[in-house]
Amino acid sequence: MTTRHDMGRDPGPITSPLGEDLTAEDVAAYLRDHPDFLANRPDLIPHLVPPAADRGDGVLDMQYFLLQKLRAQLEGLQEQQRELIATTRANLNNQNRVHAAVLFLLDAASFEQLVQTIATDLAVLLDLDVAALAVEGVSSDMPHIHRSGVRVLEPGTVDKWLGTKRDLVLRENSPGLPEIYGAQGAGMVRSEALVRLRIGADAPQGILALGSREPDMFHQGQGTELLTFLARVVERAIRMWLDIPRA
């Protein structure tokens, strides 16, 4: 309980939560008997009102400034702790979502069902708005790709969008690409993650695309380990169903 009063003035009886009347002297006596009280309860320091800093005749109480500094440091640490807890919870939630998505991909009973899972279930499981699978200029000896609904890109498109040295690009405040999502799906996208798929040694490159209507859902500086892991699972699932040798 915090009680503020003028210096030198007795605030009178203080009613505790247990219904007992305590006086300011009772509190003072307790603190004298327990000099380490605030050391064990630093969370109470921000709620205390320090004495006036000016002692008169130009004399200033340095302890006051030290207390103010300690209070500011404590408030900063508490804010950092809150941010850390929020970030940890968000990361754990994202990890659980990706794990659930992987299980859905592994449960696919055919290549067509795998593509359907990516195009429909994946967005829901990851709390996004759209997901898509695209592959560069597919040859005629991969009929499953042609009739599965996978979007076909011009050869060289993956390197044009991602560059030759990157496997993942995060785009914020950016519209979706119709070549990947289709006209309707692209209209829902305001930020996206494009992840390169290296399906096999003799197979064309592909892209796993994840889009959100939130302009800052994907952004530069964001952790990408889970997205990369998800793409590696998609690669292996495609190779398994199409019997493609690993690159």
In 3D space, the residue among 132, 245, 108, 114 whose CA is nearest the CA of residue 182 turns out to be 132
Distance of CA 155 to the CA centre of its chain: 34
Considering the domain delimited by 109-242, tell me its CATH architecture. Answer: 2-Layer Sandwich (3.30)
**Residue 201 confidence class, pLDDT cut points 50, 70, 90:** confident
User: What pLDDT is stored for residue 16 in this prediction?
Assistant: 57
- The alpha carbons of the chain give a radius of gyration, in whole angstroms, of 31
What's the CA angle centered on 168, arms 163 and 174, to 5 degrees?
A: 85
pLDDT digits 0-9 by tens, 40-77: 887 777 676 655 555 566 555 657 767 777 788 888 88
User: What pLDDT is stored for residue 79 in this prediction?
Assistant: 84
Tell me the β-bridge partners of 20: none
pTM above 0.85, yes or no: no
Is the pLDDT at 223 greater than 90? The verdict is: no
Distance CA 175, CA 103 (A): 30
pLDDT: which is higher, 168 or 45: 168
Q: Give the single-character DSSP code of 221.
A: T
User: What pLDDT is stored for residue 228 in this prediction?
Assistant: 93
Distance CA 79, CA 82 (A): 5
Distance CA 167, CA 190 (A): 21
Is the pLDDT at 238 greater than 80? The verdict is: yes
Is the pLDDT at 146 greater than 50? The verdict is: no
Distance CA 168, CA 149 (A): 23
Domain boundaries, the chain: 26-107, 109-242
pLDDT: which is higher, 45 or 157: 157
DSSP string covering 123-179 = HHHTT-SEEEEEEES--TT-HHHHTTTPEEE-TTHHHHHH-SS-SEEEE-S-PPPHH
Q: What type of residue sits at position 212?
A: S
**Residue 93 confidence class, pLDDT cut points 50, 70, 90:** confident
Is the pLDDT at 212 greater than 90? The verdict is: yes
**Residue 148 confidence class, pLDDT cut points 50, 70, 90:** low
Is the pLDDT at 247 greater than 90? The verdict is: no
